[in-house]
Amino acid sequence: MRMIIKLAQRVFLLVAILSVLVKGEGKNNTPYNISRDLDMKIAGISGGLLLGSMLMDYTPMDLSEIAGLKPSDVPDYDSRAIDNWNVGSIKMSDLLLFSSIAVPGLLMFDQEIRSDYRNFSLVWAQSLFLTLGFTNFTKVLVGRPRPYLYADNASNNYKLKKDNRKSFFSGHTSISAVSWFLMASMYEDYRPRSNISPYLWASAFLVPAYTAYCRYDAGKHFFSDVVAGYLVGSAIGVLVPKWYTKNNNKVNLSFILQPTGKIKTRLAY
The tens digit of pLDDT for each residue in 118-156 reads 899 999 999 999 999 999 999 999 999 999 999 999 999
Q: What are phi and psi of 86, to 5 degrees?
A: -150, 105
What letter does residue 146 receive in the DSSP assignment?
P
pLDDT at 246 over 90: no
Q: Is 0.75 topped by the overall pTM?
A: yes
Instruction: Please list, in sequence order, all residues whose beta carbon lies within 8 angstroms of the beta carbon of residue 151, skipping any fewer than 6 positions away.
Output: 82, 83, 85, 219
Q: What dihedral angle (degrees, nearest 10) is formed by the CA atoms of 141, 147, 149, 150?
A: 120
How many structural domains compose the chain?
A: 1
Query: What domain range includes position 186?
Result: 2-268
Instruction: Please list, in sequence order, all residues whose beta carbon lies within 8 angstroms of the beta carbon of residue 230, skipping any fewer than 6 positions away.
Output: 170, 173, 174, 177, 208, 209, 212
The tens digit of pLDDT for each residue in 67-93 reads 999 999 999 999 999 999 999 999 999
pLDDT at 106 (0 to 100): 93
Cβ atoms of residues 233 and 220 within 8 Å: no
Give mean pLDDT, residues 21-36: 69
Average pLDDT score, the chain: 87
pLDDT at 34 (0 to 100): 86
Cβ atoms of residues 223 and 77 within 8 Å: yes
